[in-house]
Structure 1
Amino acid sequence: MEKKVVFNNLHRKKHFDFFNSMNHPHFNITANVEVTSFVAQIKERKLPLTYSLVHVLSETANEIKEFRWRIRNEEVIEHKTVHPSFTVPTDEADVFSFCTVDFQRELKDFISEAERVRSQMKTNPSIEDEPGKDDLLFMSAIPWVSFTSMQHAMSYHPHDSVPRISWGKFFQQEGKTMMPLSVQAHHALVDGRHMGAYFQKIEAALVGF
């Protein structure tokens, strides 16, 4: 389900036009977030870390409408729900496959669906997106590096408006477990306030997991 977004505020419309006219309209923020409580809960409840983390990241994105906005044919549409498409290893090669899973509000339901799709990807990997499908969140894990910045591959002509969310290797800092988190979004849709809200909500969700 989707609906058209109309900018009735003149300044908001100018903001959209200004950034949408750029060759590279995406911006990226990378920050370390605490996952001490999250990791402890994962171990105690015997939950799969990747699926649980993807669920938290997706749920938070769905709570902010600007992360559900997409540019299509010079118009802005709002999806009711956006779904994670995240990278997973395969048995076919030493490069990843995309694993696209319909977002489920209940964690157990999401894990079950992710397991089903993941089993298909092991021997039948996919790297292509479904044409015309933009109700997605592109996610990737870089578990080998506690990175401090991230640059994503993407098409610029025409550029897409799907947010990119990546996380890196956990590390210890002052007795806490930390995780680098990179969030990239189209600046015509997502501004600094919305990006800041995403990080604030993620931190609260991970602490309260």
Structure 2
Amino acid sequence: MKSLMIQGTTSSSGKSLLCTGLARIFSNKGIDVFPFKSQNMSSKFVLLDNGDKMATAQYIQAIAARIKPSVYMNPILLVPKANDASFVYYLGKEDRKYKAVDYFKQKEFYKKKIIDLYKEISNSHDLILIEGAGSPAEINLNQNDFVNSGMAEIANSNVLIVTDIDRGGSFAHLYGTYMLLGESAKKKS
């Protein structure tokens, strides 16, 4: 197994926490595990010693994996600045501010960058532990996806789907998510 991806039925379903726990478990077994989330939208970030920004979740996952935090773990960080705009950081450095509609027009460009970056990191570690974002069932976001099912395709990764049972309807969330996946994504889940 070269990669394992964790996806969720919703935002805040437990993906980050599960990835953190798995990173420590794999590290305890002597596996060189590299946490990875191609794109994270968050106002919670860490400034590294060189001034680069990365999402707090991947920073904590790196600590759990007992490796030095790197912007390669979270190559695209979207920091919301308005209801319809975010600052985009690529490899820790501010790329530009986009309105949501303009960012979606750039997804193919960023997807190519993620594909190249993933090839680079996957050759350097025993296991890439990939965290999805939101839900893979957000079918309005599937075009040029490099965060959920698209990322699983890029990495040729098996996928575990998690849900938060405390919110109620967790079995419906799981079933609905699975049923909205494309056929190739269903085979990986």
TM over 0.5: no
TM-score, length of structure 2 as denominator length? 0.30
The answer to which structure has the higher helix fraction is: 2
The structure whose Rg is larger is 1
TM-score, length of structure 1 as denominator length? 0.28
